[in-house]
């Protein structure tokens, strides 16, 4: 994998960290990514990006496809995934990294879908990608807590046909959410296959990054679906 750099932007009286990775070739687009769970990448302490989330597992494939990647950590001060201050902070990251005025896409999985939708509703972008969007209740609320009616960029919504996570496993709820984004042209893709290796029991296992909810075992398919859609949007 290519080298990564840890950077920050101001957030309240603290900082909001993110990791940047560059493709070997000239980047074609920027992809800003938000993992699920509590969203903590612990970048400042670790000094590097690691994890089992599909957005991190896909990193080599996305870099090879020419994507400049921004992995957004949680701020070191109190925050909400769905408020304007959080979106402004991510907007500063994008401004800081996009001197070439490349197309910018945001992608979030599970509770990270709240962050992605929030940014898409308040920051000019070229497209939004949500994986296992949390249409049902979570510790961070739901994807509808962001002002989704204000999203005008096209959107790609991915769901696994065997997702058993109570917050995201309903295809009908996902289609209802897509209708709520009245200004966004939405593409819904239902993926299959992979392996359920989520640890724990109940909701913990069903919503685990290594379960169907996290698209475990089909990283190549997920990355290919995303890149095909980005190519259509940017052609």
d(CA 77, CA 79): 6
d(CA 44, CA 225): 32
Tell me how far CA of residue 153 lies from CA of 16, 92, 100, 149, 172, in angstroms.
Answer: 25, 19, 20, 11, 22
Q: What is the pLDDT along the chain (235 residues), one digit of tens a residue?
A: 778 999 999 999 999 999 999 999 999 999 999 999 999 999 999 999 999 999 999 999 999 999 999 999 999 999 999 999 999 999 999 999 999 999 999 999 999 999 999 999 999 999 999 999 999 989 889 999 999 999 999 999 999 999 999 999 889 999 999 999 999 999 999 999 999 999 888 888 999 999 999 999 999 999 999 999 999 999 8
Q: What is the CATH number of the domain that holds 175?
A: 3.40.50.1820
d(CA 196, CA 205): 9
d(CA 35, CA 20): 15
pLDDT in tens, 181-229: 999 999 999 999 999 999 888 888 999 999 999 999 999 999 999 999 9
Q: How many domains does the chain have?
A: 1
d(CA 106, CA 90): 10
Tell me if 166 sits within 8 A of 221, measured CB to CB: no
For 16, the domain range is 4-234
Q: What angle do CA 234, 82, 228 make, to 5 degrees?
A: 20
């Amino acid at each position: 994998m290519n080298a990564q750099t840890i950077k920050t932007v101001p957030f309240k009286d603290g900082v909001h960290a993110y990791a940047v990775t560059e493709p070997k070739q000239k980047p074609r687009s920027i992809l800003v990514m938000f993992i699920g769970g509590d969203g903590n990448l612990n970048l400042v302490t670790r000094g590097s990006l690691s994890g089992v989330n599909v957005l991190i597992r896909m990193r080599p494939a996305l870099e090879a496809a020419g994507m400049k990647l921004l992995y957004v950590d949680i701020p070191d001060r109190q925050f909400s995934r769905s408020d304007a201050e959080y979106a402004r902070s991510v907007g500063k990251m994008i401004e800081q990294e996009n001197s070439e005025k490349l197309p910018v896409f945001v992608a979030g999985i599970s509770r990270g879908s709240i962050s992605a939708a929030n940014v898409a509703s308040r920051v000019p972008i070229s497209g939004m990608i949500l994986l296992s969007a949390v249409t049902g209740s979570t510790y961070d609320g739901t994807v509808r807590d962001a002002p989704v009616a204000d999203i005008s960029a096209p959107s790609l919504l991915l769901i696994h046909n065997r997702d058993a996570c109570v917050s995201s496993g309903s295809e009908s709820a996902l289609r209802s959410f897509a209708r709520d984004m009245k200004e966004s042209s939405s593409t819904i893709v239902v993926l299959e296959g992979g392996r359920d290796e989520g640890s724990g029991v109940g909701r913990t296992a069903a919503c685990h990054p290594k379960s169907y909810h996290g698209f475990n075992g089909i990283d190549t398919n997920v990355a290919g679906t995303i890149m095909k859609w980005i190519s259509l949007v940017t052609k």
